Amino acid sequence: MPKKKAAKTSTLTLHGQTPYKEKKGEEYMNENQQTHFKALLLAWKQELMEEVDRTVSHMKDEAANFPDPADRATQEEEFSLELRTRDRERKLIKKIDSTMELLDADDYGYCDQCGVDIGIRRLEARPTATLCVDCKTLDEIKEKQVSGG
C-alpha cells in the first residue's frame, strides 16, 4: 500500500501577520478587517523601531577611530548608508502613524482621489496605500510625462 504524503501547508506572513481571508458577502473594511490591518501596521512599526535600536547600538559598538584613512572612509560610508536607510524608515514610520489615524477615523482602505475601495489584496501588499491601482497608475504615468522618463 503506497504511503500518503502529508500535505504541506505553509502560511505566508507579513510582519508576523497572516493574510486576511475574506468571507463571501463580507462588508468592506468591517471591524475584523480594520483590526487585522491595525495589527499589521503595529507589527510593521515595531519591526522598524527595533531596527532603529539595532542601528544605534551597532554604531556605538562599531565606532572606532581607524588610523588607516581607507578603513575610516569605509566605516563612514557604511554608517552613511545605514543612516540613509534609517531616515527612509523614519519617514515610513510617520506614514504608518498617519495610516493608523485613517483607521481610527474609519477612512482607511478608500482611495484619496476617487473614493473607491483600494482592495484587501493591495492593502496586504502595501498597508500604507492611499490610492487605488487605477489612480496610482495614472499618477505614475503623469510623473513620467513631467520628468520625461
pLDDT digits (tens, 9 = 90+) for 109-142: 999 999 999 999 999 999 999 999 999 999 999 9
The secondary structure element, H or E, covering residue 123 is: helix 120-125
- What percentage of the chain reaches a pLDDT higher than 70? 90
Summarize the confidence of residues 43-71 as an average pLDDT. 84
Query: 102, 24, 85, 28: which is closest to 51 by C-alpha?
Result: 85
Neighbouring CB atoms inside 10 A of 122's CB total: 16
**What burial letters (b/e) apply to 13-28, b meaning 16+ CB within 10 Å?**
eeeebeebeeeeeeee
Tell me the pTM. 0.78
Band of the pLDDT at 12, cuts 50, 70, 90?
low
Q: What is the pLDDT averaged over residues 33-38?
A: 96
Binning pLDDT at 50, 70 and 90, where does residue 10 land? very low
- Set out the domains of the chain in order of their start, with CATH numbers: 28-108 (1.20.120.910), 111-149 (no CATH)
SS3 108: coil
Q: pLDDT band for position 8 (50/70/90)?
A: very low
